[in-house]
Amino acid sequence: MNTDFTVFLDRDGVINRRLPDGRFVRCWSEFEFLPGVQEAVRLLNENGIRVILVTNQRGISLGLYSEDDLLHLHKQMAAALRRHAAKLNGIYYCPHAEGACACRKPGIGLFEQAFRDFGEAAPSRSVVVGDSLSDMQAAQKLGSMKVLIGSIDRTMQSKARATRIHIDFVADSLLSAVQRYILPTHGRKSSKKL
């Protein structure tokens, strides 16, 4: 792959539907792709854009599921994406409790590991797509473009202002973000570059 651009995706709320009441997705039977995700990842792949999943999974530290359970879920997720001619170039996860590590978002440890693993990747040529302020804070620390999936309510607006986070784009889905913001600027047919 000859790519100079990377899209980092959060998982819950971007790739798959969040469970109600803040419950954790613990196994494949609880996992449900959000509409258009497979197409969005495929479009990124077809445009030579590296796609990396970066996800906090503190349910492991809480004993709600094991690391093996998570790896099995991610293996099934990757297989389901492949059936739609879509693939992730890497999957990075933090199994730790809040405040116990440097890798948990809004920390940037997982991103730094990805940059080490993919030597041609760089924060200035990356976009972080997430559905939470912690995703946007990580992107801000990296100096990467920030795309929020969902809507900015008053609480998030005030938190973003208080932490001086400027969200570059807001989209209602990953597919919308890819079609409206990422490909027009960074796709193969785009004349614009970062």
Q: Give the active site residues.
A: 10, 12
The span from the CA of 30 to the CA of 150, in Å, is 21
The answer to whether the beta carbons of residues 92 and 54 sit under 8 Å apart is yes
Q: How far apart are CA 108 and CA 128, in angstroms?
A: 11
Q: What are phi and psi of 104, to 5 degrees?
A: -70, 125
Residue 170 belongs to what H/E stretch?
A: strand 169-171
Measured CA to CA, the distance from residue 182 to residue 170 in angstroms comes to 12
